[in-house]
Structure 1
Amino acid sequence: MSLVSIPRQEKNQLIEDVQEYAEEQFGQPVGNITAEGLLDHILSLVTPYVYNQAIADTKRVLSDEWSRLDEELSVLERPMTRRR
């Protein structure tokens, strides 16, 4: 199972981008099947790192937000008085 799902139209554009890159950088034409295979392979290598970074970033944002909310809620606390 892939961690990323790219709509076909967008994937086709990425395949064209890979083909253009190969032609510009290496002077070699690359067919659709080869470009798609290369794209899929690169995505399988890179996606876990990007995904994990997104999770870490989300955890940091949520932690910061939780701290802010905790401070705001603390301000709303009422003092407790003891009755005798």
Structure 2
Amino acid sequence: MANIKFTREQTAILVGEIQKYFDKELGQEIGDFDAEFLLDFFSEKIGGYYYNQGLNDARALLDAKLDTITESFYELEKITEFD
């Protein structure tokens, strides 16, 4: 898995969300540097779990779609004396 990297704009949005969370849920203010440091920590240490779950979800969706396509092929088959 490649390292998770966000653009500066995305990082600013995520840092803002972390700051809001700390303020609302914990009653603490957290600065930009600390929030970005926390974001980097979670991206490095926990991001892989979310990434893998996303892959598993995508794989399950693709499997379901492929099953539907395979069924559609069987529906198109003409009855013949061949098996």
* Superposition TM-score tier, normalisation by shorter sequence: 0.7 to 0.9
Unaligned runs of 5+ in 1: none
**Aligned length in residues:** 80
Cα distance per residue 1:21-50 (max 9 Å; x no partner) = 3345153x4332222111110122221111
SS at match of 1:56: helix
Unaligned runs of 5+ in 2: none
SS at match of 1:30: coil
Q: How does 1:8-23 map to 2 (within 5 A)?
A: 8-23=8-23
Superposed CA RMSD in Å reads: 2.2
Aligned to 1:62: 62
Aligned to 2:53: 53
Of all paired residues, the percent bearing the same amino acid is 24
Aligned to 1:30: 30
TM-fit CA distance, 1:55: 0.9
Say which one has the larger Rg.
1
The 2-side partners of 1:21 and 1:71 are apart by 47
Cα distance per residue 1:46-72 (max 9 Å; x no partner) = 211111111111111111111111111
The amino acid that maps onto 2:8 is R
